[in-house]
């Protein structure tokens, strides 16, 4: 049994793209929790060692190696800061956050160049504006998403990524240009629709539709350098986010599991980039939100 579980685990790690997404978006569900196949394999190894099951131990080396190839690099130490580097904080602050002022102070204390926020609602929005203003004089809020910057912003506007069937006001994406010391960067802040896990599987159709709309916008964006920050309600391995992850690069080092804050199981808060590489991501301490903030280093390519 242990050897059989090892074979299945290795197959999921190496061949997860072949897991069908129907019914219930099973493939996306598997990809959302691929990381946890590593601890599961470790548990199987302990069981095999206790039972002195040599065959199982040998078989379990396969998923161990597969997991190490997939996730090992993210566990390596982050490289030293380099030139032309921006730091970005991404945080879903939660619309029921009981301490928006404390949350804003904690984010400002990170020293990031850019702060991207989701679930901005009144009256907490005024608190975020007032608290962040001294260190982040430039900002734009479109609907329930906002961007605060140390550097000037121009051309800020809302983007339409609303899935079909949503009739109420729904503005959850923006684009602005950041006049950074290293040249202009197109910055996106987004909040994709939530997903739910139920008897029918993973309910992610609206998120996937919104991701596809955003992917089309990115494909048409002529900017050489793009930074996208948002609550994407999915991991970078989830095929539902392929319209984004196929066009943008993800962090190379760090796990930074961000949700739920009380017991983080996955990083669904992401910072992705084009015309740059993203050497590291790390989670910041908990705020009054059900998400953890993540801080990401982005090294820009090209001339200003």
DSSP assignment of 19-34, as one string?
S--TTTTHHHHHHHTG
pLDDT of residue 73: 87
Q: In the listed set 75, 98, 119, which residue is the last one of a domain according to the structure?
A: 75
Q: Give SS3 for 110.
A: coil
56 membership: H or E segment, kind and range: helix 54-71
- Which has more pLDDT, 72 or 199? 72
Which of 74, 56, 146 lies closest to 104, judged by CA? 146
pLDDT of residue 303: 53
**Does the pLDDT of residue 129 top 70, yes or no?**
yes
pLDDT of residue 75: 87
Identify whether residues 145 and 242 lie together within a single domain.
yes
What is the DSSP pairing of strand 294-300 with strand 226-231? Answer: unpaired
Could you tell me the two tokens for 284? 């910041």
**Cβ pair 268, 257 in contact under 8 A:** no
What is the DSSP pairing of strand 173-180 with strand 153-158? Answer: antiparallel
Task: Please give the model's pTM, rounded to 2 decimal places.
Answer: 0.93
What angle do the packed helices 100-108 and 124-132 form, to 10 degrees? 30
pLDDT tens sequence across 94-104: 999 999 999 99
- DSSP state for residue 4 in the 8-state scheme: H
Identify whether residues 99 and 52 lie together within a single domain.
no
Identify whether residues 66 and 40 lie together within a single domain.
yes
Asked if the structure places residue 110 within a domain, the reply is yes
Number of domains in the chain: 2
Domain that holds residue 44: 2-75
Identify whether residues 33 and 138 lie together within a single domain.
no
Asked if the structure places residue 224 within a domain, the reply is yes
Q: Give SS3 for 169.
A: coil
How far the first Cα of the chain sits from its last, in Å, is 58
Mean pLDDT of the residues in the chain? 94
For residues 46-69, give the mean pLDDT: 93
Which of 95, 88, 96, 24 lies closest to 269, judged by CA? 88
Q: In the listed set 32, 56, 75, which residue is the last one of a domain according to the structure?
A: 75
**Does the pLDDT of residue 201 top 90, yes or no?**
no
How many C-beta atoms surround the C-beta of residue 262 within 10 A? 8
Asked if the structure places residue 80 within a domain, the reply is no
**Does the pLDDT of residue 79 top 90, yes or no?**
no
Q: Among 32-36, 38-42, 142-146, 165-169, whose mean pLDDT is lowest?
A: 165-169
pLDDT of residue 168: 85
pLDDT tens sequence across 142-184: 999 999 999 999 999 999 999 998 888 899 999 999 999 999 9
Identify whether residues 19 and 69 lie together within a single domain.
yes
pLDDT of residue 249: 97
pLDDT of residue 167: 84
Q: In the listed set 75, 109, 139, which residue is the last one of a domain according to the structure?
A: 75
**Does the pLDDT of residue 69 top 70, yes or no?**
yes
Identify whether residues 260 and 159 lie together within a single domain.
yes
């Amino acid at each position: 049994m242990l050897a059989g579980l090892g074979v299945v685990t290795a197959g999921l790690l190496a061949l997860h793209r072949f897991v069908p997404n129907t019914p219930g978006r099973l493939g996306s569900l598997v990809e959302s929790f691929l990381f946890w196949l590593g601890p599961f394999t470790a548990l199987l190894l302990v069981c095999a060692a206790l039972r002195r099951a040599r065959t199982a131990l040998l078989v379990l080396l396969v998923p161990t190696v597969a997991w190490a190839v997939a996730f090992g690099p993210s566990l390596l130490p982050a490289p030293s800061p380099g030139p032309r580097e921006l730091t970005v904080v991404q945080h879903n602050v939660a619309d029921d956050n009981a301490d928006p002022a404390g949350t804003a102070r904690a984010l400002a204390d990170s020293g990031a160049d850019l702060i991207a926020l989701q679930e901005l609602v009144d009256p907490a929005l005024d608190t975020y504006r007032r608290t962040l203003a001294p260190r982040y004089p430039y900002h734009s809020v479109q609907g329930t998403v906002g961007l605060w910057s140390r550097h000037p912003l121009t051309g800020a506007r809302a983007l339409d990524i609303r899935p079909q069937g949503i009739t109420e006001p729904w503005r959850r994406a923006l684009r602005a240009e950041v006049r950074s010391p290293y040249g202009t960067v197109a910055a996106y802040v987004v909040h994709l629709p939530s997903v739910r896990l139920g008897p029918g599987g993973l309910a992610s159709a609206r998120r996937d539709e919104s991701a596809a709309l955003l992917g089309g916008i990115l494909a048409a964006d002529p900017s050489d350098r793009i930074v996208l920050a948002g609550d994407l309600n999915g991991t970078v391995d989830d095929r539902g986010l392929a319209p984004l992850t196929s066009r943008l690069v993800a962090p190379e080092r760090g796990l930074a599991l961000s949700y739920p804050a009380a017991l983080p199981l996955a990083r669904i808060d992401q910072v992705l980039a084009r015309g740059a590489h993203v050497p590291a991501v790390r989670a910041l301490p908990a705020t009054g939100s059900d998400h953890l903030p993540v801080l990401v280093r982005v090294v820009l390519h090209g001339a200003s």
